[in-house]
A and B are shown apart, each in its own frame.
Chain A
Amino acid sequence: MPESPSTLLYCRCAYAQVVPSGVKNEVLQRLCDSGASFESVSDLCEMAAHRDPRLTALASCGKLRIAACYPRAVKGLFQQAGAPLPEDTEVLNMRTQTAVEITEALLSSDSATALTA
């Protein structure tokens, strides 16, 4: 039985300039050009600060791949908001990885370069 595809989530980190704009813009552009459906949020930190119920919805999506920042931080944000991520969630780090690495991992059928949260 084929594995169900992952839900893709892109965090814009719009509330602070800690993610290089070149990387986050290119990741978004590549996602848009890919033809894939995906979710995007303005800022996961902003959502966690408000305990946004969408975090629970995202955490319950099943397989999830996230383009955001450090996996330890992303996992902590979801947990602190009462929406712990499934163990097999893959977090791509736009603060340290290249846009090409990230989009390849997001869109691959079996991500090898993503970091498991």
Chain B
Amino acid sequence: MITHTHRPLRVVLYEGQGAIALPAEARTKVMMALLDKGYAVTRASNGGTPAMPHDDRSLLVLGLFPDQTAPQIEDATGQVKIETRDISGLDVEGILALVEKNRGTTTMNEPGKWKPWFPVIDYTRCTNCMQCLSFCLFDVYGVSSDNKIQVQNNDNCKTNCPACSRVCPEVAIMFPKYQQGPINGDEVNATEAGREKIKVDISSLLGGDIYSALKDRSAAAKSRFSKERSPDKALDERKKCLTKLVGDGFIPADVLASLPSPDEILRKAAQAKARAEAALAAQG
């Protein structure tokens, strides 16, 4: 779960004109330590490649400066607060402590305390069939103003649960922190695409096939869509599918434990169906 949205402090390890280069080993260790704590780090040297634009409101510039005196630097536009610190004589822990002190009470996410787990849609594959919208019970998905499926509530996603990627008939849903391809973003070859579709046949118990068919906008599909199944049966089938996914080790057991109540599931399913219907109908 996302605890807050503060951007991490951007640290500049400055080794350009007017500064002394850090020993190679120390440079790498400092960068690793800062990155592993969650900071963004710019290594600025005399070596050519351009830096990212300074959109940040504050920068902390670290370097080995002559006479161990960090120069005063001001942003010409007055929009960026720039702090400079000399790090002569400091080891990695000392530099890290200096940065932490400079950050003060400003909160930021830290590795190890939270995992960025959420679906990423590959729009080169997505056909906007809305199966993911109808499948996810945690309101992760939504529909944009131009009726396109999109991820709207990242932080509702259940960590380590990639179940929606399995119901996507186009293998268009990725979880970059997942171990295996193609869910991790690896390329989808024809064999994998076929295998994924076979698995989706299982999940079509949930009614996903109805949404997929609706995409065809054919009269037959519309007719099929209008045939309602009993709510009790649909609920039972959804649970059965999720239980199977847990049993296969594909999704964590605590996802089942955190499912909404049966009434809530039915309400959400109806809402999702209405949103999907409206979005697809609006596409003509």
**Beta-carbon contact of A12 and B35 below 8 Å:** yes
Subset of 15 A-B contacts with CB under 8 Å: A9-B52, A28-B28, A31-B43, A34-B47, A36-B47, A37-B47, A37-B49, A37-B51, A40-B31, A42-B8, A50-B109, A54-B7, A62-B50, A70-B176, A76-B122
| Contact (A60, B53) CB under 8 Å given A16-B177, A52-B7 | yes
**Beta-carbon contact of A32 and B53 below 8 Å:** no
Instruction: Report which of A9, A42, A71 forms a contact with B36, defined as CB distance below 8 A.
Output: A42
Q: Is the interface of B mostly helix, strand, loop or mixed?
A: loop
**Beta-carbon contact of A5 and B185 below 8 Å:** no
| Contact (A28, B45) CB under 8 Å given A49-B154, A61-B52, A73-B174 | no
Which of chain A's residues 13-58 have a Cβ closer than 8 Å to chain B? 14-16, 18, 25, 28-29, 31-43, 45-46, 48-50, 52-54, 56-58
- Of all A-B residue pairs in the complex, the 7 with the closest CB atoms, nearest first, are A73-B185, A70-B185, A45-B116, A12-B35, A14-B111, A76-B120, A73-B176
- Distance between Cα atoms of A102 and B39 in the complex (Å): 23
**Beta-carbon contact of B186 and A72 below 8 Å:** yes
- Distance between Cα atoms of A116 and B5 in the complex (Å): 30
Using Cβ atoms and an 8 Å threshold, which residues of chain B touch A4?
50
Tell me whether B274 is interfacial, beta carbon within 8 Å. Answer: no
- Distance between Cα atoms of A20 and B277 in the complex (Å): 43
Question: Which residue, B38, B109, B154, B177, has most C-beta atoms of chain A within 10 A?
Answer: B177
Which of chain B's residues 98-148 have a Cβ closer than 8 Å to chain A? 109, 111-112, 114-116, 118, 120-123
- Distance between Cα atoms of A74 and B37 in the complex (Å): 22
Tell me whether B24 is interfacial, beta carbon within 8 Å. Answer: yes
Question: Which residue, B32, B35, B49, B151, has most C-beta atoms of chain A within 10 A?
Answer: B49
Tell me whether A7 is interfacial, beta carbon within 8 Å. Answer: yes
Using Cβ atoms and an 8 Å threshold, which residues of chain B touch A58?
52
A residues whose Cβ falls under 8 Å from a Cβ of B: 4-9, 12, 14-16, 18, 25, 28-29, 31-43, 45-46, 48-50, 52-54, 56-58, 60-62, 69-74, 76-77, 79-80, 95
Tell me whether B179 is interfacial, beta carbon within 8 Å. Answer: yes
**Beta-carbon contact of A42 and B111 below 8 Å:** yes
Which of chain B's residues 1-57 have a Cβ closer than 8 Å to chain A? 2, 5, 7-8, 10, 24, 27-28, 31-32, 35-53, 55-56
- Distance between Cα atoms of A57 and B7 in the complex (Å): 14
